[in-house]
A and B are shown apart, each in its own frame.
Chain A
Amino acid sequence: MNHPHPPETSNEPLAPGQRLPESERKTFSPEAIAEIQAIMAQYPDKLAATLPALYIAQREFGFVSLAAMRAVAAAIGIPEGHVFGVATFYTMYQKAPVGKFHFQVCTNISCALRGAAQLLEKVCERTGVKPGQGPSPDGMWSVEEVECLAGCGVAPCVQVNQDVYDELVSEDKLVEVMEACKRGEYRPWGY
């Protein structure tokens, strides 16, 4: 898998024994810790809580930074290396900051046949950001090109944060979705 963003938030990878700066250290809220512990109790092996805990980290901290991965490892009590490996393997954990509304445009074949490439161009034009290049200056938008969202019959489809919107064939419908985002009608990023 290709990962455009290295997990580090600092410019350089950490040397052995080096500590993250204070501002980049992350700690879970007591509620999040309780949530992670409840998940750990559900499975025969506490390792299984890695994926759900990373989602909790993403919700708590906005994105899965290196510090967030460390917090996950500490909360579950597993090696940090394991959490780094898992977090960088899966594409739904954002390793760099994203906008308040994260547009994930499917450009795979079924969507492409119905104009996903043009839709992606329009999304980029209207939000002013390029795919995978971080949020817009106002922090509102970010765009990502993703693989199949299993909405092939209602293509082209876009996932905004965690909700999928189908059949964005005309530009009006895209504008509608963006306007609704601005009004705050959609769930904000972080689930």
Chain B
Amino acid sequence: MAAIRTKPDHHTYTFPGFGSEKFPNLLLRGAGDLNNWHLPVYEQQHEGYVAMRKALQMEPVAVTDEVKASGLRGRGGAGFPAGLKWSFMPKDTPERKLTRYLVCNGDEGEPGTFKDRVILEYNPHQLIEGMIIGGWAMQCAMGYVYIRGEFLWLIEKLEAAIQQARDAGYLGKNILGTGWDYDILVYRGAGAYICGEETALLNSLEGRRGEPRVKPPFPAAKGAFGQPTTVNNVETLAAVPPILRMGGSEYAKIGSPKNSGTRIFGVSGHVKRPGIYELPMGTPMNFLVEELAGGSSTGRKIKAIIPGGASCPMLDEKDFDVPMDFDNLKARGSMGGSGGLIVMDESVCIVQATLRLIRFYAHESCGQCTPCREGCNWMQMILHRIEHGQGRMEDLDLLASLTPRIGMRTLCPLGDAACGPMDSALQKFRHEFEHHIIHKTCYAQGSKLLSSVGAH
């Protein structure tokens, strides 16, 4: 095997006060420490595998209850309570012994999101520990980590870390004398955004095309290889060891009500210090963008922020003070999503930005449901003609009439995801679209988000 890449990432920011009581460092504890993937370093310097030892002494149900008490919500985008999801898994009965699986979703493909990458880079053992605890709580036979194919160097690193855990007796047969057998296997994806959807991911894990399944049956009833399965995001599972270490009720005190804990926010685009920041849920967005990320890098005013990865509706100036948690963002008409903030300054043409986003969804649609397959393509074509000066005024109504025909009419949320940016751009920046149609140029002069040689 090739040498494990250890590349310093100067964009991993630890800001003043990080690690204090106000800004606890639960997920990025080893951030910037490139040796943290070695088991001894993780164990000796970062309280590694303490939570696992604690969990293995508890009853499996008690572990699930602890996670329930913490109020941890899934960090993949939907914000579903993780403890509740775990409790859906069917239990063994005297007549029937079940084979259960835990699957970790590391198919990070949402534009603007790069949080799983840092966990895998700096804290792979915390993910492994979280997977062991989750596996124990649900009495799983096997854990699978599905990681996107582009992360080859992280897959190599994680596999090396898993081998260390195996050698230490944390994985394999009869773990720490409990009589429980469990192992983790890494599966490499092959470049499909749709595989971030849990049932598409399960199909891909089984070696099929990544097309979402019809639900029900939900994965908890019939998941990977036909067995009961729970799918959790990398960040969700990495949040489990701190919960067990400090206790669920203590963890629930961090963050805002019903949105407990810390979350990794990734800031990209026009800011001075783009990168990742771990903050308690409910931190105001302008604090992160202005104070921590340094504000606009170009000196121009910030026009729009996408608050949680490309699928979330954009926010304009009046909503920049929103506390970043699932409920508050939803109340402002956007989503918590995957925590990736994309900051756009005044020089950005919203028509170009929307076209770029919609082209992504048109490209990544799996083609299974007609509204998404056809709708995303049509939105792309209409936006393309507006951008290239051939738009008509009625195109705007046409676009607005398309989104309700795509959203909530598909098997998976990819269609809805495409509608988020489209609707919000039309509502909040309609004048830019109109300017494009009337004057046949961008409202924001000099915006150049599309290349002349690519697909446009």
Residues of chain A touching chain B, judged by Cβ–Cβ distance below 8 Å, are: 1-2, 42-45, 47-52, 54-55, 82, 85-86, 89-93, 107-110, 112-114, 116-118, 120-121, 124, 130-131, 145-155, 159, 162-164, 187, 191
Taking a contact as CB atoms under 8 Å apart, the answer to whether B268 and A90 are in contact is: no
Taking a contact as CB atoms under 8 Å apart, the answer to whether A51 and B207 are in contact is: yes
Taking a contact as CB atoms under 8 Å apart, the answer to whether A51 and B190 are in contact is: yes
Q: How far is the CA of A158 from the CA of B109 in the complex (A)?
A: 15
Taking a contact as CB atoms under 8 Å apart, the answer to whether A113 and B344 are in contact is: yes
What is the interface of chain B mostly: helix, strand, loop, or mixed?
Answer: loop
Which B residues lie within 8 Å of A153 (CB)?
A: 11, 114, 266-268, 274-276
Contact of A187 among B2, B9, B310 (CB under 8 A): B2
Residues of chain B touching chain A, judged by Cβ–Cβ distance below 8 Å, are: 2, 5, 9, 11, 108-114, 116-117, 148-153, 185, 187-193, 204-210, 225, 227, 266-270, 274-276, 306, 310, 340, 342-344, 348, 353, 356-357, 360, 362-367, 448-455
- Top 8 nearest A-B pairs by Cβ distance? A92-B191, A90-B190, A50-B207, A117-B451, A152-B268, A110-B268, A91-B191, A112-B449
Which B residues lie within 8 Å of A121 (CB)?
A: 451-453
Minimal Cβ-Cβ distance residue in A for B344: A113
Taking a contact as CB atoms under 8 Å apart, the answer to whether A120 and B453 are in contact is: yes
Which A residues lie within 8 Å of B205 (CB)?
A: 48
Q: How far is the CA of A110 from the CA of B344 in the complex (A)?
A: 9
Taking a contact as CB atoms under 8 Å apart, the answer to whether A110 and B453 are in contact is: no
Which B residues lie within 8 Å of A116 (CB)?
A: 451
Jot down 14 A-B pairs with beta carbons below 8 A, ordered by A. Answer: A44-B227, A51-B190, A82-B208, A90-B192, A90-B210, A112-B450, A118-B451, A120-B453, A120-B454, A150-B113, A150-B114, A151-B114, A152-B269, A163-B152
Which A residues lie within 8 Å of B450 (CB)?
A: 112, 117
Which B residues lie within 8 Å of A49 (CB)?
A: 207
Taking a contact as CB atoms under 8 Å apart, the answer to whether A152 and B266 are in contact is: yes
Whole-angstrom distance between the Cβ of B398 and the nearest chain A Cβ: 22
Q: How far is the CA of A90 from the CA of B342 in the complex (A)?
A: 27
Contact of B153 among A47, A48, A109, A163 (CB under 8 A): A163
Whole-angstrom distance between the Cβ of B117 and the nearest chain A Cβ: 5
Q: How far is the CA of A42 from the CA of B451 in the complex (A)?
A: 44
Q: How far is the CA of A26 from the CA of B278 in the complex (A)?
A: 50
Which A residues lie within 8 Å of B366 (CB)?
A: 1, 89
Which B residues lie within 8 Å of A42 (CB)?
A: 185
Minimal Cβ-Cβ distance residue in B for A53: B207
Which A residues lie within 8 Å of B343 (CB)?
A: 113
Taking a contact as CB atoms under 8 Å apart, the answer to whether A112 and B148 are in contact is: no
Q: How far is the CA of A89 from the CA of B367 in the complex (A)?
A: 10
Contact of B209 among A48, A85, A109, A154 (CB under 8 A): A85
Taking a contact as CB atoms under 8 Å apart, the answer to whether B9 and A154 are in contact is: yes
**Are A150 and B117 CB-contacts (below 8 A) given A51-B188, A107-B454?**
yes
Q: How far is the CA of A121 from the CA of B452 in the complex (A)?
A: 7
Which B residues lie within 8 Å of A159 (CB)?
A: 150
Which A residues lie within 8 Å of B455 (CB)?
A: 131, 145
Contact of A154 among B11, B189, B227, B451 (CB under 8 A): B11
Q: How far is the CA of A191 from the CA of B190 in the complex (A)?
A: 12
Knowing that A48-B205, A117-B449, A148-B193 are A-B contacts, what are 7 other residue pairs whose CB atoms are under 8 Å apart, sorted by A's residue number? A42-B185, A89-B210, A91-B192, A92-B189, A108-B111, A109-B112, A113-B270
Contact of B112 among A55, A85, A152, A164 (CB under 8 A): A152
Whole-angstrom distance between the Cβ of A174 and the nearest chain B Cβ: 14
Taking a contact as CB atoms under 8 Å apart, the answer to whether A45 and B210 are in contact is: no
Q: How far is the CA of A154 from the CA of B208 in the complex (A)?
A: 33
Minimal Cβ-Cβ distance residue in B for A50: B207
Interface centre among B110, B270, B340, B454 (most CB of A within 10 A): B454
Taking a contact as CB atoms under 8 Å apart, the answer to whether B208 and A109 are in contact is: no
Taking a contact as CB atoms under 8 Å apart, the answer to whether B356 and A1 are in contact is: no
Which B residues lie within 8 Å of A151 (CB)?
A: 114, 117
Taking a contact as CB atoms under 8 Å apart, the answer to whether A47 and B208 are in contact is: yes
Which A residues lie within 8 Å of B2 (CB)?
A: 187
Interface centre among A44, A113, A124, A131 (most CB of B within 10 A): A113
**Are A191 and B269 CB-contacts (below 8 A) given A120-B453, A147-B193, A150-B113?**
no
Q: How far is the CA of A85 from the CA of B340 in the complex (A)?
A: 32
Q: How far is the CA of A155 from the CA of B267 in the complex (A)?
A: 11
Contact of A47 among B152, B206, B451 (CB under 8 A): B206
Taking a contact as CB atoms under 8 Å apart, the answer to whether B111 and A164 are in contact is: no
Q: How far is the CA of A159 from the CA of B353 in the complex (A)?
A: 23
**Are A108 and B356 CB-contacts (below 8 A) given A55-B188, A90-B191?**
yes
Which A residues lie within 8 Å of B193 (CB)?
A: 147-148
Q: How far is the CA of A88 from the CA of B295 in the complex (A)?
A: 43
Taking a contact as CB atoms under 8 Å apart, the answer to whether A1 and B365 are in contact is: yes
Q: How far is the CA of A116 from the CA of B331 in the complex (A)?
A: 34
Q: How far is the CA of A51 from the CA of B207 in the complex (A)?
A: 6
**Are A109 and B310 CB-contacts (below 8 A) given A121-B451, A148-B109, A159-B150?**
yes
Taking a contact as CB atoms under 8 Å apart, the answer to whether B111 and A124 are in contact is: no
Q: How far is the CA of A89 from the CA of B356 in the complex (A)?
A: 22
Minimal Cβ-Cβ distance residue in A for B110: A148
Taking a contact as CB atoms under 8 Å apart, the answer to whether A1 and B448 are in contact is: no
Q: How far is the CA of A191 from the CA of B453 in the complex (A)?
A: 27
Taking a contact as CB atoms under 8 Å apart, the answer to whether B190 and A55 are in contact is: yes
Contact of B348 among A44, A85, A113, A124 (CB under 8 A): A113
Q: How far is the CA of A125 from the CA of B440 in the complex (A)?
A: 28
Taking a contact as CB atoms under 8 Å apart, the answer to whether A152 and B448 are in contact is: no
Whole-angstrom distance between the Cβ of B241 and the nearest chain A Cβ: 23
Whole-angstrom distance between the Cβ of B448 and the nearest chain A Cβ: 6
Which A residues lie within 8 Å of B448 (CB)?
A: 117-118
Which A residues lie within 8 Å of B208 (CB)?
A: 47, 50, 82, 86
Whole-angstrom distance between the Cβ of B71 and the nearest chain A Cβ: 28
